Structure 1
Amino acid sequence: MAKSSADDQELRRACAAAIEGTNQEILMSIRVAKSRGIWAKSGKLGRNHMAKPRVLAISTKAKGQGASVFLRVLKYSTGGVLEPAKLYKLKHLSKVDVVTNDPSGCTFMLGFDNLRNQSVAPSQWTMRNVDDRNRLLLCILNICKDVLGRLPKVVGIDVVEMALWAKENTPAISKQQGIVQDGPIVAAVAESDTKVTVERELVSQVEEEDMEALLGTYVMGIGEAEAFSERLKRELQALEAANVHSILENEPLINEVLQGLESATSCVEDMDEWLGIFNLKLRHMREDIESIETRNNKLEMQSVNNKSLIEELDKLLEKLRIPSEYAACLTGGSFDEARMLQNIEACEWLANTLRNLEGPHLDRTYANMRSVREKRAELDKLRNNFVKRASEFLRNYFTSLVDFMISDKSYFSQRGQLKRPDHADLRYKCRTYARLLQHLKTLDKNCLGPLRKAYCSSLNLLLRREAREFANELRASTKTSRNPTVWLDGSAGSNQNASSADTSTVSEAYAKMLTIFIPLLVDESSFFAHFMCFEVPALVPPGGLVNGNKNVHTDDENDDDLGIMDIDDNENDGKKSADLQALNESLHDLLDGIQEDFYAVVDWAYKIDPLRCISMHGTTERYISGQKADAAGFVRILLDDLENRISTQFSRFVDEACHQIERNERNVRQMGLLPYIPRFATLATRMEQYIQGQSRDLVDRAYTKFVTVMFATLDKIGQSDPKYADILLLENYAAFQNSLYDLANVVPTLAKFYHQASEAYEQACTRFINSIILYQFERLFQFSRRIEDLMYTITPEEIPFQLGLSKMDLRKVVKSSLSGVDKSIGAMYKRLQKNLTTSEELLPSLWDKCKKEFLDKYDSFAQLVVRIYPTESIPPVSEMRDLLASM
């Protein structure tokens, strides 16, 4: 037998050197070949799965009183030195599988239960021969059984064959074990490295000896079966005879037992008779007890029911009893402020009592009792009486409060003194009865309608008086000078600066009117909605914003907080359309008529300065944007009406101004700069100064209407005198651009009209300059135009042979037009200067355009001559350009 690599001491020392520093000792090391392929039928490895040389080593590491056993895989480095590759713990070894496809039986696989990737096939290890395979596997199995206490699953190899091989090779291996170092694991291997036999694994030695003895006896019994059967029959007969004899000997004892059984039977029958008697008596007694218990239960139930009935009747009587102090308040008590607490308590008691007499608070059986019906009728009469008395008192109270304030002139604005309306005392006195109104609504919700009308009628007189006095004094105390409103009238002097006086006090007066009364009206609307128990959301939050600033409160903060809660402690579940409609109708009754004083201020401001409508419009829009959609419906309608009235007044001003512009076309022989052109620039500048808030659209619409009428009127005036139409247009369009240049840079609407005027100016300039040029050189450029027209129909070579276009004709035209050309150009300049006497600042730019247009026309003429009459000569373009530049 060849020497195994397991006996190679050099290999073991190389393995020990490879794992130096791990505190592990090598128990065995052996060379193997590693592969991942499968064995083909030929018994050779596949081409892609070539074997790689490896060394398998079993190592151990001391760990307390025990030890850990490892299976190490070492590979050869580039220099042929062993180095660690993989490490497995033997306690995770679950399977030893010998590959059956290998005819030699030297290839096996080791399966571990802790490998992460179970889908990858485990490595296959191929030994040099079967002896090396058996030697390694026996070592691994002995360690697993003796040290770990279990064996892995062995597949593909016969365990008996392994045991027989171990017996045959024990001396050789035992010799090797003498060399292995001592230790807990080493000793176990040394003792049983190859002594694991099949018998040791299956049965012990003692069990084997007993089985051999049993088998020997069994073989002996097969030979003497008949003799053995006869012997058994004889023994059975002897045993039966002995039993019969024993029974016969015990006959006296049996008789005594039978007598005892008879006496016991007699006693049992007597006892059964007595038990039947006792059972009958007990049944009768049980029936008596049940009857007694039934009667007791009925009596107890009747007692409980009577007690509950008495309690219910006491409660019902308590509900039906009217306390004397409440009856006195409800029937004839006073409604003075000192007595309001008692009245409120009486209302609460009455409301709760009426509620308790209705289902589901009261049982339906009680509701049909005559006493309950009578008491309910009495309470209804008491309620109606109280509601009538309270409603009459409140109507008179509201009227008296307002009459007292109206009779006192100190509450209103007077000559020389504007008085801010102050309703703090009025609301304070009303709050005294806020809780009473809540209870009146609970007792009879129909009673609130007349009360609301009475409150609105009384307070409406006060509010209208305050607004009228304030508006009258506001207009009387505003110092301003009246200016003529003829902004664009052509009959006014050209130097007149219309409406140049400062009229800012007018728009300030209007803003002051809104600042004082709009928050007041909103607060009054909100207070009325809460005070008169409308089930709508809060109209204005405490400290709400109007026009971007805090509401101007004339009384305490949180003015709308009445200091009361709902009677049922239930929150309003949202806006109710019916209540909201009723609120809007009541607010109309409360505030109707006050708008006339606002309209009077607007009309007064318009008469002083119509342009102040712009700033008033912006102020109104800011107040509208500061109101919620559902807040104080009448106030929002008032602001919308004010906005419409201001827009109407401003539209009236725009229409009048446009009418003044249109009057210019009726004048005969309009020349030069029209007066409304510079005045419009003054007007636009002033309008831009007044723009506030979102009033941009109002002004832009006015600009559009103004300029549209101005341009239309200008065109009509020009059409009335075509000879001077272009001069009139270019002068006025130029003046329009010059006067609005700065505003057009910042106002998009004016910028659009600025560009429109610029285009019209250029067109008028072109027509005017062509007329000047043609006046002096008409024959020359008409000759050029005739040539251009013929070039569309005939060839250039045929043109000199046409009538009037011969070379001789060309020479005559050139001689008559260009002889003394400097004088002709001078005459052209004088004519241009003569026509622009009213706008001399336009002369330089127009003269430059005139020279450029003349030079372009002459250049075209010269090109035609070179093309049609190549042999003819005319003054060159350069010479004409120099001549124009010198003039």
Structure 2
Amino acid sequence: MARSSADDMELKRACEAGILSKEKAPEKVVMCMRVAKGRSSGGTWAGKAGKLASRHSNMAKARVLAVTTKPKGQKTKAFLRVLKYSNGGILEPAKVYKIKHLHKVEVASNDPSGCTFILGFDNLRSQSVSPPQWTMRNKDDRNRLLMCVLNLCKELLGGIPKVVGMDIVEMAIWAKENTTTKATQVASKDGLFDSTVLEPDSQVAVENDLVSQAEEEDIEALLGTYVMAIGEAEAFSERMKRELVALESANVYALMETESVVEEVLQGLEVATICVEDMDEWLGIFNIKLRHMREDIQSIEWRNNKLEMQSVSNVALGEELDRLLVLLQIPPEYEVSLTGGSFDEGNMVKNIEACEWLTNAIKNLEASNLDPCYAKLRAVREKRAEFVLLKCTFVRRASEFLRNYFPGLIDSMLNDKDNFTQKGQLQRPDHADMRYKCRTYARLLQFIKSLDKSCMIPLRKAYCHSLNLLIRRETREYSNELRNSSKASKSSTPSFEGPAGVNQPAGIADSPAEAYSKMITAFIPLLVDESLFLAHFMCFEVPTSDGSDSDEDSTPKTSGSSGSSAKPSNNSSADLGVLNECVQEMLDGIQEDFYAIVDWAFKLDPLSCIPMHGITDRYIAGQKAEVAGYVSVLLDDLETRITILFSRFVDDACFQIEKYERNVKQVGVVPYIPRFSQLAARMEQYITGSRDLVDQAYTKIVTIMFVTLEKIAQVEPKYVDIVLLENYAAFQHSLYDLANVVPTLAKYYHQASEAYEQACSRHINLVIYIHFEKLFQFARKIEELMYNMSPEEIAFQVGMSKVDFRKMMKSSLTGLDKTITAMYRKLQKNITAEELLPSLWEKCKKEFLDKYTTFLKLIAKIYPNETVTSVNEMKDILANL
């Protein structure tokens, strides 16, 4: 048998060295022992933590448990230290537990050997993690370690922790039997461990036993009795029966001896019973009297309660009647205002207060706001009828006043000439004073609407009709003065008629479009503001939160008004339709003055449609007020009119271009190409916003120009390519600068460039074939023959022999300098634009060299040994001419 690791002095010294390396204060190692560390998966700690640890429960780790003590003053502290082996096999501290926190020692139930136990400490931070379980090599090692720990707990703490899974008495008996330890061998998984027993360290302290001597003797006596009872069960049962019979006999005898005493007690009980019966009779009598008295008291209380309730009800009824009288009584100061007061500005505060009272009074007398019993009262019904009659009288008077007030206010403005444009002086309309006066009656209109909504229709018509007279006169005077005082004269817009060079581009100073811009700038914001003011002032329930510069304070934000941030109600769509009808009635007729400005500007300068279209577009994009729907319609109509007029101008230009097709034979550049460049330059100067209108015009005009040019070129078939290349070159030259900045013109510039190159190529090929016809016909015949036979066979065909080849070469290249000169003169003969000749001649020489190079490659295959003029020689000849 191997000795216990608790007796290994080397292990003890290694533990002290390991602890000393980490702790400054010295600690005494009382006992140390090798153990295997695992995780508990059952017992008291079974559960979530046990489940988490179950997968690692079989992975035991070698550890050393050391029980240490450390003096601190007059007290001694005890620790349980866990040491592990480092990579070098040296013990180093891994964990330390204070013995004072040990509250439970449990022997694992899943280990039949009993060598596995768990130490529970009450200060563990995470109770969800199962505590480690320690496995000893044998049961004696387990008992030695646990007895050491328990004895320390009893000495230092005065008690021992809870012990589960083992018997304290058996532990005490084991400790007595193992006071000394001899050398043993213990078989384990790691082999046999031999050790020399050291007497002082292997002792179990008997004087510190867990059970005292007296307790031990009592336990032994009890155990002896228990053993005896188990061995002689039947004898013990008989003995107990005999003792029971003896006890029962003794009890019966004792009862018989006390008979006289019992009789005395019974006599006393009989006397007491008689007294109790008498008392019960008297209590019954008193109970009846008390019941009658209680009934009398209840009757008195009920009468008192009814009197008190009646008093409270009378007080409440008086208060309720007072409140009802307040609702039914008309204050004298309000009655005067409602029946016959004046609507002058000075009296409007009193009128508004009277309106507020009348509105609330009618509302309070509605059946939904009154108790049903009050709603049927005659006085309430009569007063409600009186209030309704008062309401009708007041609304009629107020409506009649406002229907006369609005025309009177507008008439006063119409009679003041300073409010309108006069000769030589443009006067922008200003309605601020008129709106200020109208705001005085804004609250009155709100109350009129709340009292009788139908009265708003004639009031709105009166207001819109009166304001229409003012706005129409303002627009008429402003428009007439703009046209009369404008310095703009009829512009010499480039035309496609007449001889070239007559039309010159004119500047855009004093453009008629400026007059249109002034008209739009002066009146469109005014019309929008008037529309918004109408929506506020006339109490339309429509959304007006559009972010435009409107009079947001035109009406106070009270119930019934549509504020700038008011949410649309259920009938807002219907109100919006009615509002737009009123706006149309208010502004109807002013469109004619705007149309007159547009038509006048178009007559002076058709290109003024471009800036007018841009200005109108900007105002349309900035127009967001739904309540100003008629203004949006007006702007759309103006944009449509401007577009139609400009389209008429573009159609006229296209018609003038198409007339060139029916004229006599054209030579050189057609006049409409340079005139279009002048027109495009003018149009670009006028652009202020969107390019769509101008780009559409470019597309239409240039398309007609190119189609007409193709038709003109076909009149004389001999000169088709010359006409095309000269005109396409002129188009590119005249629009070079604009094409760099205008994408639409750039597209047609590239189209003209491609057409020019194609025309040049066709004309140059024609000139080359005219002067070298035999040479290239011979090459074409060789190419045709090569489809059906090999190059070696071609030289033996009729007309294709070497002799024929030499004759052809001699006739084609004899007098080469004269032929090339003639080719140059042919190019020069019909070209009217001399500036195109150098580039055409360079193209011609390059094309001829390319064709001659191809010819020589073909000849080399058929007549490889023939001597001909090389490409370089031909290039030198061309360069010298």
1:776 aligns with 2:782: no
Residues 6, 28 of structure 1: 8 Å contact kept:
no
When residues 490 and 820 of structure 1 are mapped into structure 2, their CA distance, relative to the original with a 3 A threshold, is farther
1:699 aligns with 2:694: yes
Alignment partner, residue 627 of structure 1: 623
Separation in structure 1 between the aligned mates of residue 95 and residue 260 of structure 2, nearest angstrom: 88
Separation in structure 2 between the aligned mates of residue 658 and residue 314 of structure 1, nearest angstrom: 91
1:681 aligns with 2:665: no
Residues 34, 136 of structure 2: 8 Å contact kept:
yes
Separation in structure 2 between the aligned mates of residue 703 and residue 224 of structure 1, nearest angstrom: 133
Alignment partner, residue 659 of structure 2: 663
- The answer to which of 839-848 and 209-218 deviates more is 209-218
Alignment partner, residue 27 of structure 2: 25
Alignment partner, residue 522 of structure 1: 528
Separation in structure 2 between the aligned mates of residue 214 and residue 155 of structure 1, nearest angstrom: 22
- The answer to which of 505-514 and 579-588 deviates more is 505-514
Alignment partner, residue 216 of structure 2: 204
Aligned residues: percent identity?
Answer: 56
Separation in structure 2 between the aligned mates of residue 568 and residue 121 of structure 1, nearest angstrom: 80
Alignment partner, residue 193 of structure 2: none
1:532 aligns with 2:534: no
- The answer to which of 622-631 and 704-713 deviates more is 622-631
Alignment partner, residue 565 of structure 1: 557
Alignment partner, residue 613 of structure 2: 617
1:193 aligns with 2:205: yes
When residues 660 and 214 of structure 1 are mapped into structure 2, their CA distance, relative to the original with a 3 A threshold, is closer
Alignment partner, residue 40 of structure 1: none
Separation in structure 2 between the aligned mates of residue 368 and residue 343 of structure 1, nearest angstrom: 31
Residues 772, 831 of structure 1: 8 Å contact kept:
yes
How many residues matched?
Answer: 838
Separation in structure 2 between the aligned mates of residue 125 and residue 224 of structure 1, nearest angstrom: 44
Separation in structure 2 between the aligned mates of residue 730 and residue 850 of structure 1, nearest angstrom: 14
- In structure 1, runs of 5+ residues without a counterpart are 38-48, 181-188, 545-550, 552-557
Residues 698, 745 of structure 2: 8 Å contact kept:
yes
SS of 1:203 mapped into structure 2: helix
Separation in structure 1 between the aligned mates of residue 669 and residue 560 of structure 2, nearest angstrom: 80
Cα deviations by residue, 1:311-341 (Å, 9 ceiling, x for unpaired) = 4334333323333333332222222222222
Separation in structure 2 between the aligned mates of residue 250 and residue 53 of structure 1, nearest angstrom: 81
SS of 1:58 mapped into structure 2: strand
Letter in 1 for 2:105: S
Aligned equivalent of 2:457, options 431, 449, 462:
449
SS of 2:422 mapped into structure 1: coil
Cα deviations by residue, 1:158-210 (Å, 9 ceiling, x for unpaired) = 9648735644645999xx99978xxxxxxxx98x6256779659933366569
Q: Deviation at 1:617?
A: 1.2
When residues 644 and 55 of structure 1 are mapped into structure 2, their CA distance, relative to the original with a 3 A threshold, is closer
Q: TM-score, normalised by structure 2?
A: 0.84
Alignment partner, residue 94 of structure 1: 105
Residues 26, 57 of structure 1: 8 Å contact kept:
no
1:513 aligns with 2:519: yes
Q: Deviation at 1:467?
A: 0.7
Separation in structure 1 between the aligned mates of residue 823 and residue 483 of structure 2, nearest angstrom: 63
Residues 623, 632 of structure 2: 8 Å contact kept:
yes
Letter in 1 for 2:748: F
Q: Deviation at 1:639?
A: 1.3
1:765 aligns with 2:760: yes
Alignment partner, residue 422 of structure 1: 430
Cα deviations by residue, 1:829-857 (Å, 9 ceiling, x for unpaired) = 01111211x21111111001111111222
Alignment partner, residue 709 of structure 1: 704
Separation in structure 2 between the aligned mates of residue 20 and residue 727 of structure 1, nearest angstrom: 113
Q: Deviation at 1:140?
A: 3.6
Residues 15, 32 of structure 2: 8 Å contact kept:
no
Where do residues 254-653 of structure 1 align in structure 2 (5 Å cutoff)?
A: 258=267, 271-485=279-493, 487-492=494-499, 494-538=500-544, 541=547, 544=548, 559-567=551-559, 572-574=566-568, 576-628=572-624, 630-653=626-649
Separation in structure 2 between the aligned mates of residue 569 and residue 426 of structure 1, nearest angstrom: 20
When residues 100 and 326 of structure 1 are mapped into structure 2, their CA distance, relative to the original with a 3 A threshold, is closer
SS of 2:77 mapped into structure 1: strand
1:822 aligns with 2:817: yes
Cα deviations by residue, 1:368-415 (Å, 9 ceiling, x for unpaired) = 333333333332222222222221221111111111211222211111
Residues 413, 466 of structure 1: 8 Å contact kept:
yes
Where do residues 722-871 of structure 1 align in structure 2 (5 Å cutoff)?
A: 722-836=717-831, 838-870=832-864
When residues 2 and 277 of structure 1 are mapped into structure 2, their CA distance, relative to the original with a 3 A threshold, is closer
Cα deviations by residue, 1:545-604 (Å, 9 ceiling, x for unpaired) = xxxxxx5xxxxxx73413523247997441510111100000000111111111111111
Letter in 2 for 1:815: K
Where do residues 866-885 of structure 1 align in structure 2 (5 Å cutoff)?
A: 866-870=860-864, 872-885=866-879
When residues 171 and 709 of structure 1 are mapped into structure 2, their CA distance, relative to the original with a 3 A threshold, is closer
Q: Deviation at 1:26?
A: 2.5
SS of 1:668 mapped into structure 2: coil
Cα deviations by residue, 1:78-109 (Å, 9 ceiling, x for unpaired) = 8887655654544547345699788xx9xx44
SS of 1:619 mapped into structure 2: helix
SS of 2:714 mapped into structure 1: helix
Cα deviations by residue, 1:630-689 (Å, 9 ceiling, x for unpaired) = 251111111111111111111111111111111111111101011111121121122112
Alignment partner, residue 43 of structure 1: none
Alignment partner, residue 45 of structure 1: none
Residues 665, 716 of structure 1: 8 Å contact kept:
yes
Cα deviations by residue, 1:750-777 (Å, 9 ceiling, x for unpaired) = 1111111011001100111112112222
Residues 163, 196 of structure 1: 8 Å contact kept:
no
Alignment partner, residue 186 of structure 2: none
When residues 681 and 30 of structure 1 are mapped into structure 2, their CA distance, relative to the original with a 3 A threshold, is same
Separation in structure 2 between the aligned mates of residue 642 and residue 278 of structure 1, nearest angstrom: 111
Residues 744, 754 of structure 1: 8 Å contact kept:
yes
Q: Deviation at 1:629?
A: 5.3
When residues 750 and 34 of structure 1 are mapped into structure 2, their CA distance, relative to the original with a 3 A threshold, is same
Separation in structure 2 between the aligned mates of residue 780 and residue 760 of structure 1, nearest angstrom: 29
Letter in 1 for 2:20: E
Alignment partner, residue 150 of structure 1: 160
Residues 488, 511 of structure 2: 8 Å contact kept:
yes
Residues 540, 562 of structure 2: 8 Å contact kept:
no
Separation in structure 1 between the aligned mates of residue 642 and residue 314 of structure 2, nearest angstrom: 82
Letter in 2 for 1:25: E
Residues 118, 133 of structure 2: 8 Å contact kept:
yes
Residues 457, 589 of structure 1: 8 Å contact kept:
yes
- In structure 2, runs of 5+ residues without a counterpart are 40-57, 184-196
Q: TM-score, normalised by structure 1?
A: 0.84
Residues 731, 839 of structure 1: 8 Å contact kept:
yes
Separation in structure 2 between the aligned mates of residue 14 and residue 716 of structure 1, nearest angstrom: 117
- The answer to which of 380-389 and 132-141 deviates more is 132-141
- The answer to which of 429-438 and 754-763 deviates more is 429-438
Separation in structure 1 between the aligned mates of residue 237 and residue 628 of structure 2, nearest angstrom: 127
Letter in 1 for 2:556: I
Separation in structure 1 between the aligned mates of residue 361 and residue 410 of structure 2, nearest angstrom: 36
SS of 1:476 mapped into structure 2: helix
Residues 435, 564 of structure 1: 8 Å contact kept:
yes
Separation in structure 1 between the aligned mates of residue 636 and residue 383 of structure 2, nearest angstrom: 55
Separation in structure 2 between the aligned mates of residue 622 and residue 844 of structure 1, nearest angstrom: 50
Residues 98, 156 of structure 1: 8 Å contact kept:
no
When residues 498 and 369 of structure 1 are mapped into structure 2, their CA distance, relative to the original with a 3 A threshold, is farther
Letter in 2 for 1:562: S
Aligned equivalent of 1:67, options 76, 79, 85:
76
Q: Deviation at 1:224?
A: 14
